[in-house]
Structure 1
């Protein structure tokens, strides 16, 4: 089973950007659909491990999230928070002091929709 979802995040210029990710786990797919159906904004933030390669389903970005590591959160530690535009600009630094273990949890991300690819 495979499904695609998007989250949105404002970048520093004020533009709203979309980031598409893939889920392969039936339970996570159902969780994402429940979040969207309920309008629950508390646990609508997306987290996962950055893979520094583009994915066909996520146009416009040089990286994607490992589907096996994706989850949803309400609260998370500060060290994994970063804006999507900043991650794109500093992709070569991901995994070191910036986003240790390549784990990214953008606090201002909001699960926005299920998409077809």
Structure 2
């Protein structure tokens, strides 16, 4: 009986581990990448929330006409899917807006040039909401 209990415990532990790992694995499977413009600058964001992915696709196909601008919290590290920039938006904080306050507005190149100042008087809390931002297309990382 002890052998059966040990096997049952191992199966239960394996199932618990699978359940613990599956949301992260599922989130990676569900990730979608979108090219965003701010005037002449282009960058790439990563979305993992299915509702936000659908919202971004609505912007691309023209069915979403109001909340077309991107807002999120900057991470001061490069991301492999966002080449050419020393920062990216934290996927967990990205959302869309129609109107925002001026304190979080800047172009991508301006953020890059002043990244060391971001989080202080410039982009308080590292929140970035470029008024000129717009999702223009869905992309595959590494293929542009």
Instruction: Give the alignment's TM-score, normalised by structure 2.
Output: 0.74
Aligned Cα root-mean-square deviation (Å) = 1.1
Alignment match, 1:7: 36
Offset at residue 41 of structure 1 (A): 4.3
* Conserved 8 A contact 1:41-1:110: no
SS in structure 1 of the partner of residue 57 of structure 2: helix
Gaps of 5+ in 2: 1-29
- In terms of Rg, which structure is larger? 2
RCO greater where, 1 or 2, for CA within 8 Å and sep 6 or more? 1
User: Number of matched residues?
Assistant: 112
Q: Which has the higher helix share?
A: 2
Structure 1 ranges of 4+ moved more than 6 A: none
Alignment match, 1:115: 139
Q: Which has the higher strand share?
A: 1
Instruction: Give the alignment's TM-score, normalised by structure 1.
Output: 0.91
CA distance in 1, matches of 2:54, 2:66: 17
* Conserved 8 A contact 2:55-2:64: no
Q: For residues 26-105 of structure 1, what are the structure 2 equivalents within 5 Å? A: 26-38=50-62, 40-105=64-129
